[in-house]
């Protein structure tokens, strides 16, 4: 009975301490809490920017680029054949051999290989990057005994490009997500890939169709579910695409039918339109990034930045003596050490608190149970803001389709991909 009373008293003290500290902590977390009214405002601003991006003359100045993809329809299930797929969008890229069978309406991944992209190549020359990709593709073809075949290649390139047609010019507008290879911005990415393959001379491909990763996600989902007309990525970066009425795509000739538009919504706010929801921590993340002043929306949402936002908040709370008895470790002082995957681990419903203790120990911090709970509260607050901003933007697109078609209700499917979406427990 004495032990039970002592434990009850101990946990009662802890709860009281946590409630007291969390009330002080909320002063710093409050700017991350976006009301429904504010989210509706964000949605209205995005709607205006999307319309501006579709205009013939205003799109050059638009923060939301609304890039035509020249994909005119979602799959209908009759597609078939063998294809190579190349997926480039982060520190790793994937090469896949895919077989599509019409009679069973199946898409089989025959095999795949993940290739790392070292930091020196991400920041090197364009020639080095595409030579590295061509070399990895060559290794994969050898491993699959495909060198004698000339297969079409689907190239998923997860960076903003101005396309002329799906299999022709794809001009890189700008690098994002930590890439800064010289000699690629303003150049045709498909041409650079073909030249790298030609330089090797040990294999060939029949054609290259390039799509953004959002489009690839929408199309692969649409193969199984014909109601899918939106693709969304929440991973290293964030973006979305959807099927827009051709009559509204003023920068492309033609009035009939629909075309998939790559919104590039990561750039939303680059013109200052989100200044009122940026926190002091967002501003530091932007200022210290490889691309300050661009991809404002993405920096509040995606996996490349969420961990760093949490680290900056934890540093501030430590300075204010609300965490770790006011003592930060060398690791916590170091940018990039609090990884976004830690957020997912700490928010796990069953093991989250234990994960938090292990992570804080690995970061060299002296913590108590209240510290671990406060860290979890910080993670939940910042990932919730990310989710709510994605929801507001997704609602904008769904409402756009609804208005375009004059429908009272919209039934659609959203294809979603990305590590944050896949790994985060909520």
Give just the sign of the alpha carbon dihedral 241, 245, 251, 255. Answer: positive
Comparing CA positions, the residue from 19, 16, 13, 25 lying closest to residue 323 is 25
Residues involved in catalysis: 177, 213
CA diameter of the chain: 82
Paired strand residues for 239: 233
CA distance 417 to 396: 19
CA 399 from chain center: how many Å?
A: 22
Q: How is 220-250 classified by DSSP, letter by letter?
A: HHHHH-TTEEEEEEESSSEEEEEEEEGGG-T
In the block, residue with structure tokens 């990561």: 266
Backbone angles phi, psi at 221, to 5 degrees: -70, -40
Contact 48, 118 (CB under 8 A): no
Paired strand residues for 171: 162, 188
CA distance 46 to 52: 10
Which run of H or of E encompasses 259?
Answer: strand 258-262
Q: How is 87-112 classified by DSSP, letter by letter?
A: EESSSEEEEEEEEEETTTTEEEEEEE
256: DSSP letter: S
């Amino acid at each position: 009975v004495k032990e039970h009373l002592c434990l009850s008293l101990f946990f009662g003290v802890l709860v009281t301490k946590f409630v007291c500290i969390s009330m002080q902590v909320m002063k710093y977390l409050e700017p991350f809490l976006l009301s429904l009214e504010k989210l509706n405002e964000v949605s209205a601003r995005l709607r205006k920017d999307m319309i501006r991006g579709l205009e013939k003359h205003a799109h050059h100045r638009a923060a939301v680029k609304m890039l035509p993809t020249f994909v005119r329809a979602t799959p209908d299930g009759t597609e078939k054949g063998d294809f190579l797929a190349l997926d480039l969008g982060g520190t790793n890229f994937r090469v896949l051999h895919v077989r599509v069978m019409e009679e069973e309406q199946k898409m089989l991944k025959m095999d795949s290989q993940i290739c790392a992209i070292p930091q020196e190549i991400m920041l090197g020359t364009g020639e080095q990057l595409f030579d590295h990709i061509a070399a990895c593709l060559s290794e994969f073809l050898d491993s699959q005994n495909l060198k004698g075949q000339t297969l079409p290649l689907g190239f998923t390139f997860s960076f903003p490009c101005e396309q002329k047609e799906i299999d022709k010019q794809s001009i890189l507008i700008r690098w994002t997500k930590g890439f800064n290879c010289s000699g690629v911005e303003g150049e045709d990415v498909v041409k650079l890939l073909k030249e790298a393959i030609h330089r090797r001379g040990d294999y060939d491909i029949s054609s290259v169709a390039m799509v953004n990763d959002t489009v690839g996600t929408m199309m692969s989902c649409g193969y199984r579910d014909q109601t899918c007309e939106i693709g969304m990525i929440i991973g290293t970066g964030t973006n979305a695409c959807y099927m827009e009425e051709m009559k509204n795509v003023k920068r492309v000739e033609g009035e009939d039918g629909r075309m998939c538009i790559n919104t590039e919504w990561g750039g939303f706010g680059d013109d200052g339109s989100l200044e009122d929801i940026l926190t002091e921590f967002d501003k530091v993340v932007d200022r210290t990034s490889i691309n300050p002043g661009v991809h404002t929306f993405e920096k509040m949402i995606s996996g490349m930045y969420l961990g760093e936002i949490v680290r900056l908040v934890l540093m501030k709370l430590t300075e204010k003596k609300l965490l770790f008895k006011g003592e930060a470790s060398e690791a916590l002082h170091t940018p990039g050490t609090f990884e976004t995957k830690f957020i997912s681990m700490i928010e796990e419903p069953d093991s989250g608190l234990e994960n938090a203790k292990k992570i804080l120990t690995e970061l060299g911090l002296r913590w108590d149970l209240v510290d671990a709970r406060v860290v979890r509260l910080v993670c939940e607050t910042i990932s919730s803001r990310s989710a709510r901003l994605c929801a507001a933007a997704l609602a904008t697109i769904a409402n756009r389709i609804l208005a375009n078609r004059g429908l009272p209700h919209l039934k659609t499917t959203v294809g979603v991909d990305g590590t944050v979406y896949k790994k985060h427990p909520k």
